[in-house]
Structure 1
Amino acid sequence: MGPLDGITVIDFSTLLPGPLATLILAEAGATVLKIERPGTGEDMRSYPPAFGRDGGANFALLNRGKRSIAIDLKAPGAIDRLLPLVDRADVVVEQFRPGVMDRLGLGWDRLSQRNPRLVYCSITGYGQAGPKSQIAGHDLNYMAETGLLALAAGPDGAPVVPPALVADIAGGTYPAVINILLALTERQRTGAGRRLDIAMTDNLFTFMYWAMGDGIAGGEWPRPAGGRVTGGWARYRIYRTGDDRFVAAAPLEDRFWSIFCDVLDLPDAARNDQADPEGAARIVADRIRSRTAAEWQAAFAGRDCCCVVVNSLEQAMADPHFVGRSLFSRGLLDGLGGRMPALRTPVVPEMTATPAEAGYPALGEANGLLGG
């Protein structure tokens, strides 16, 4: 039994933010019923690479341990068949544009009247109200409009495509899970459910607290590659090694900077990086460039200076530290005997309820739960 054992979630979401949120809830023991289109299922089932017979690897990773109901929500009588399930549910998660669920007959006003204890979570890019609420977008758009993408620009001012879907996961998934759990806790006291408006763009501003402080209180808005934690300081940069790998250096505090300078055998002029920040950064870059990644890895070993060689994902998944913490020991089955590591979620092992080996749902396998 997990902490959410006995909680039933009806999941109308697709792609990443909602499905990852309900995966986390399922990992904690909730029963998640995924609503999908008949015939094809949700879009992520067809995304490459393939894995098994009923969905690609991305779908499998995000929907482990859930159940699937295939139903055409626009078909006559479909909503009436679905409503008895919603009446008994604890949580609804949806990811449509504002107004779509109302038009389907599954909006908050109707469902909360039928089930006053329902926690109803809507995840969108711009929220349920506002001038942009009906605009379509994806992760890159949300990061661009909130100013976060501009902070990821290089020295030439050109933003780079981030390697992680920050808006979807950090702006959508995690706030959704946090607020669902808060609402379920509140419900224990009040007996009433709650409507949750999760706007991915709203939640991105949290990640720019330092930039907002610099601009509002300090009067100096960060410029590309100019902020202290965006590459504008010798103490927080990525440096190229002699064999064209990279060192991530973050010796921010003086005690770490002092050790870092000792490892690099920097001259006094570079150690006083406050006097000539760019000059210090150039000297550090030259020193790092003079040796290979393996040499720097050996030099930094055992030295407390917050510097590491940049790993590839493949290298990271083979790192003895992460392997030793059993990050990839839980299995995801494909129904044909295939296996790959299950997606690691923030649910700690002690609160994880899904089996060590579990599959993802075949399309419509839980249709027997429908009424009518």
Structure 2
Amino acid sequence: MRPKPLANIRVIDLTRLLPGPMCTLHLADMGADIIKIEDPRIGDYARASAGPDRAPSAYFLCANRNKRGFQLDLALTEGREVFLDLVKNADVVVESFRPGVVDKLGIGYEAIKAVNPRIVYCSITGYGQTGPYRNQAGHDLNYCAYAGITDQIGRKDSPPAIPNIQFADLAGGTLSAAIGILAALVDVGRTGAGRYIDVSMTDCALVNAVVPLIGYLDFGRVAPRGTDLLSGALPCYGVYETLDGRYMAIAAPEEKFWQAFCEAIQHPELISARMAVGREGKEARAQVADIFKAHTMAWWLEKLAGVDCCVSPVLGLEESMENEHFKAREMFIKTDRYFDNCGTGEEMTQFAFPLKISDFEFAVERPAPRRGEHTTEILAELGYSNERIEALAREGVI
């Protein structure tokens, strides 16, 4: 077996909560050595999100597996000195403080670049390092709201809906940061020089609003939510309720798929209404809705089994966890769970790493770390003596 794709890449992770930890999770799952740094007093807020009796939370455990834990008080001079020792042989630093904070701490890009010119330094913030909003507080819903995404989620004539998938955090923060980091690492291999990456989750969410932008460019306006071609206007692309209160999703804008569907349900008169809009589209959607409403989800799954027409059941996550396709793809894994209060552990389910890469087998090689679990180990790797490590602990640096 070849080394893992990111073997020997060391990442210093200063992030908390969701976007940054999920970014470094992907890097960890591909073999990077992630050193997760937490403040000795507070730590990552995600640890306590399920309450004291369930700490660390599933939130923290799922986002921080395959990482090593390190405690460090960056507000202390000695803490800064330890951090500079850490980054001398690191490849990447990822942080998610507000703009300017790392510079005040003396660990900003220029300070780190001075001791390690090859460093890839990634800052993940809500609004970026520049612009009038750069110092504003915010969360995923705020970023999506500014980016024109929240406005597009939901039904016509209803308030915008709030999805339980944090789009700006995960697509905007997590994945965009990972892309930037990996691109910069390739460049380091070519040139020997690192780069600074400014990730604005709002910017990165904005550029995913491609379909609304296309509507604006082609027709001079953005379609109201629930009325664009891919958000509810077309009979061939939508979600329809079944007799038992479940839902089926059809996504058949191509003629061959829509025709196969119409023939399977014995309604050939609908074939010509595939791309119908306006009054004709409304009538066709109502007819399709009545057709789906006449039978249960189970009936529809049996009826359309083997028909290549892009119709799927709308599953809850619990059902997805039992779905035969995800099982075949090994998308869920079982791991042991621990609790800080020494309570009885239990088995928990996590998502597996989603990419299938040749000559690489994903594994959870270590659970999410306890507070500062690997601090002594990592300092010893840097050449610190036992006496110095003990002194740093006494002084509250680690």
Q: Classify the TM-score, shorter chain.
A: over 0.9
Q: Distance in 2 between matches of 1:75 and 1:22?
A: 25
Q: Distance in 1 between matches of 2:362 and 2:314?
A: 33
Contact 2:19 2:173 in 1 (8 A): yes
Counterpart mapping for 1:67-216 below 5 A: 67-216=68-217
Q: Distance in 2 between matches of 1:2 and 1:51?
A: 36
In structure 1, what is the equivalent of residue 310 of structure 2?
306
Q: Distance in 2 between matches of 1:187 and 1:30?
A: 16
Q: Distance in 1 between matches of 2:4 and 2:346?
A: 27
Contact 1:248 1:309 in 2 (8 A): yes
Which amino acid in the other structure matches residue 28 of structure 2? A
Q: Distance in 2 between matches of 1:44 and 1:349?
A: 30
Q: Distance in 2 between matches of 1:69 and 1:126?
A: 28
In structure 2, what is the equivalent of residue 19 of structure 1?
21
User: How far apart are residue 365 of structure 1 and its match?
Assistant: 1.4
In structure 2, what is the equivalent of residue 8 of structure 1?
10
Contact 1:9 1:92 in 2 (8 A): yes
Is 1:362 matched up with 2:370?
yes
**TM-score (structure 1 length as normaliser):** 0.94
Q: Distance in 1 between matches of 2:144 and 2:235?
A: 26
User: How far apart are residue 70 of structure 1 and its match?
Assistant: 1.2
User: How far apart are residue 220 of structure 1 and its match?
Assistant: 3.3
Give CA-to-partner distance per residue, 1:142-170, whole Å, 9 cap, x none.
11111011111212241111121111110
Contact 1:122 1:197 in 2 (8 A): yes
Which amino acid in the other structure matches residue 297 of structure 1? L
Secondary structure of 2:197's partner?
strand
Contact 2:215 2:221 in 1 (8 A): yes
Q: What stretches of structure 1 of length at least 5 have no aligned partner?
A: none
Q: 1:328 to 1:349 in 2, by over 3 A?
A: farther
User: How far apart are residue 39 of structure 1 and its match?
Assistant: 4.0
Secondary structure of 1:229's partner?
helix
Q: Distance in 2 between matches of 1:356 and 1:247?
A: 35
Give CA-to-partner distance per residue, 1:110-162, whole Å, 9 cap, x none.
11111100000001111110011111111111111110111112122411111
Q: 1:332 to 1:203 in 2, by over 3 A?
A: farther
Which amino acid in the other structure matches residue 112 of structure 1? K
Give CA-to-partner distance per residue, 1:304-344, whole Å, 9 cap, x none.
11011211111111011111221113635538653323332
Contact 1:15 1:43 in 2 (8 A): yes
In structure 2, what is the equivalent of residue 281 of structure 1?
285
Deviates more, 1:162-171 or 1:356-365: 356-365
Q: What stretches of structure 2 of length at least 5 have no aligned partner?
A: 389-398
User: How far apart are residue 93 of structure 1 and its match?
Assistant: 0.1
Q: 1:164 to 1:202 in 2, by over 3 A?
A: same
Counterpart mapping for 1:316-335 below 5 A: 316-329=320-333, 331=335, 333-334=337-338
Contact 1:271 1:280 in 2 (8 A): no
Is 1:340 matched up with 2:348?
yes
Is 1:63 matched up with 2:67?
no
Q: 1:354 to 1:319 in 2, by over 3 A?
A: closer
Secondary structure of 1:231's partner?
helix
In structure 1, what is the equivalent of residue 392 of structure 2?
none
Contact 1:332 1:342 in 2 (8 A): no
Q: Distance in 2 between matches of 1:324 and 1:51?
A: 35
In structure 2, what is the equivalent of residue 248 of structure 1?
249
In structure 2, what is the equivalent of residue 44 of structure 1?
46
Q: 1:209 to 1:34 in 2, by over 3 A?
A: same
User: How far apart are residue 349 of structure 1 and its match?
Assistant: 5.5
Q: 1:159 to 1:300 in 2, by over 3 A?
A: same
Q: Distance in 2 between matches of 1:354 and 1:339?
A: 19
Divergent runs of 4+, >6 A: 49-52
Contact 2:258 2:271 in 1 (8 A): no
Contact 1:333 1:360 in 2 (8 A): no
Q: Distance in 1 between matches of 2:345 and 2:364?
A: 15
Q: 1:265 to 1:220 in 2, by over 3 A?
A: farther
Q: Distance in 1 between matches of 2:38 and 2:31?
A: 21
**TM-score (structure 2 length as normaliser):** 0.88
Which amino acid in the other structure matches residue 4 of structure 1? L
Q: Distance in 1 between matches of 2:66 and 2:168?
A: 25
What is the count of residue pairs matched by the alignment? Answer: 371
Q: Distance in 2 between matches of 1:353 and 1:38?
A: 34
Which amino acid in the other structure matches residue 296 of structure 2? T
User: How far apart are residue 78 of structure 1 and its match?
Assistant: 1.3
Deviates more, 1:218-227 or 1:165-174: 218-227
Q: Distance in 2 between matches of 1:268 and 1:325?
A: 39
Q: Distance in 2 between matches of 1:135 and 1:151?
A: 24
Contact 2:6 2:31 in 1 (8 A): yes
Q: Distance in 2 between matches of 1:332 and 1:162?
A: 30
